[in-house]
Structure 1
């Protein structure tokens, strides 16, 4: 039996052994066949304390009986063995080597040398746990994960890829030829391999795969080159995403966006979208037309301030932001200004929208009110013209009756006055008085004649006429007239004006009346502007002067018979009334307005001849 003894009791071999054990950093202890610890080296004493004379199983395991696998006959037969242990007293994992000490003369001694492998075992356990986590992640990822060879065989696939491609098991999928059975276009496989081997990876490569049943799916493939196989072949690892459903949604969204774009672009109303800073982000073709914006105008320079008064923009934004507005506004009437600065009245409907950037913006639908306002004005003019025509007809009938009643006694007065003048001596003091009677009676006769002409419904002699030529003929009458010596006449009459149907004499009378009235209003000093153009099936002539103009209160009466602003001595008030009747008989209209900058403006419109 081996006992702890002074060094001098051991032979040199035993002394050498103890010296070696004492220098070792590993745990070393010797026990006898009764499991008693008879020696501990300093390293073990430092970590576990002194256990000499106590049982080894108490020291290592804290147990009350020998370890079940520990067999004295086996150890003491000259054999050795390595084994891992968890030391409860030191919370370490050790690997121990058991050595029979008979070679040093201790026939019942067993040397145990233990090495601390706690960190190594923990690393192994950690790697195993990670491997388990990775394997679990590999199997449960919702996307397909694979490892394949460059020749076109799967080495590893997860269940998600099996399900994605419609195979019944991993084994079945591992057996397919990737190029032949998976790729819709085998050439795509070559393209993929060329990219992945040139760059070392492929990210987000879109292509089509075949499922087992032959149906097509859209996928996104990401892969990279990994280590070579045992036979030197390259392998690829990666993931496969089935984006078929996403592609279908994209198609639906694209179709919806295209539909909305077509709706916006085909809208007869202008549609614009602006951000809160006032920058215009979107305009449909109707908006470009409404605001007179050229198609090539830089979009970045378009701001709502260019087209809307600052106070109107502030009012609209405040109304949209109000709690009771629910982010919607309108319809309301707003005045815009096109890129040329021209006023554009519109009906505006607006709402708050979310922009792509996440910020709030405003979408406005603008309906051009100019056509409806023009139609309304046309209806009002038509109504006024109808009322005036009826009034003129009534006045005409009255004037005809009055003229006939006055004409007979007026003729008798003139006859008696001429007879009295003939019988009267030339030096009679009464002769001048009789001559005044004749002069005033003849003036009355002239008025009666105009009344009869005004009342007479005479059909105009229709011939093809050029309005520009008619105006030039009228102006020729006044070339040397004193009233026009200090009047500047400006004409803007195109040579290619279409012809109209009309009575030359009557149309000359119309323009003569207007021109004379303008010259008299300017008292022989100023500018007369005559413009002509074709518009909406009519030839329109605008005659403007720089006189005092016509007050608004008199515009409705200016075409009435006997209405004049010249006083009793300078006019009968029939010129414009006769002109109105002539123009109406020609299917046209005559209007009075204001000239920008001051003065009157008469507008006369005649329908274009059908054969023009």
Structure 2
């Protein structure tokens, strides 16, 4: 069958045959019929013949289009990665695609007419599928069911099937179409993704812990310097108390030996017992003060090292800023000039340890950014605060080169740092940003008009503070 009428020579019309016309003329004369009548009949036959030719050409074109449609549908079925099974109302397989045949390891001829239930791994799955195939009045939207098919090796493969009823031209249900995707690869990929996510979470926790230890290291350097004063004071008083104890012991030995009054009076003057007794209260008070000072410092250190367990409380922000400046400047940023004049008492709601970490990070970053070559202007930081409309804003402006415009949008990104390798993790500002957000505030970065980087910490005052995570 040709594809078009132009592929073959035209067939001759009955009127183009002279011999046929002569015979017809003779027959007409024999029977007494006019020749014109026969010519009309032959013309009608020619018209019918021409129409038959046109119908034949149209039929050939329709056949070619049908073949192209079949090839298109076949290519779609072959290209599908999802498995496809079409069965009749009894569950007999009428059509499958290459993905299904490859999964079960059977050919098209072998599967055609086979019960769809024979592909299933167990009777429970067959029961669920049979209920879908045999039900009447199913929704055109279909329904989803997860079953297990037997693959070519006889192993059960989970498949997520979408079951849709198939109807004829009269709307009568004649079968069911199953389209599904084997879930083994997806489940394995999901399991690997979950394992990778857990590993990433562990790595993130380790990095956060490393950054916390780095902040704690800067804190300890300042704390060690600060602890030196009260400990030295207590140590000096202890040595004095030890000498006083020796004198008092010597005097008490004389008393217990029942020495005479004159000897005891002379010994009392030589050992300066009266001075010892007068000095003891101040020595004890000094040691108590030094011990209490040490205990306060250690308690503050414990609060900072356990910021994640810190409970919601009211915090005097000025005290936090002053303590953070003190510890950073006493530790890793010695010689760093910080201009800070505390304003009116300012109470916010949140975690003192977490806010201490934020301020220490900002002060330390300002020091690192403002460090100049030897002989240049000394690095310095100016801290200003103001409170209005239920919020407090603290500005940290250093005298460094500022932040390049192209990097302003990345300042708070995790792991982003301009410091040399080994000098920073790139997590300090990112962690600080998250802490401030959990306190209902904002942390922004920019450049001051007079030069240098400008970080602004904004927090709600205690009476309007949001929940702290």
TM-score interval (norm. to shorter) = 0.3 to 0.5
Structure number with higher relative contact order (C-alpha < 8 Å, ≥ 6 residues apart): 2
The TM-score with structure 1 as length reference comes to 0.33
The TM-score with structure 2 as length reference comes to 0.41
